[in-house]
Amino acid sequence: MQPNAVDAQALGLAMQLLFKTDRKKFSIAAAYVWLWPAIRLGQLVTIEDEDGVWTGYALWAYLTPETASHLVLQDPPFLPISDWNEGDQLWILDFVAMPGHHRRLARALRHRLRPHFKQAHRLVRDKTGAMLGTKTHRLRKDS
Between 130 and 122, whose confidence is greater?
A: 122
pTM: 0.84
CA nearest 105: which of 37, 57, 61, 43?
Answer: 57
User: Under 8 Å CB-to-CB from 129, ≥6 apart: which residues?
Assistant: 22, 23, 25, 26
d(CA 88, CA 65): 9
For the cut 70, the answer to whether the pLDDT of residue 2 exceeds it is: no
C-alpha distances in Å from residue 137, one per residue of 23, 25, 93, 130: 24, 28, 13, 20
Q: Is the dihedral of CA 50, 96, 86, 76 positive or negative?
A: positive
Instruction: State the pLDDT confidence band at 91, using cuts at 50, 70 and 90.
Output: very high
pLDDT at 143 over 60: no
Going by pLDDT thresholds of 50, 70 and 90, the confidence category of residue 140 is confident
- How far apart are alpha carbons 141 and 106 in whole angstroms? 17
Task: Assess whether pLDDT exceeds 60 at residue 1.
Answer: no
CATH code that applies to domain 5-138: 3.40.630.30
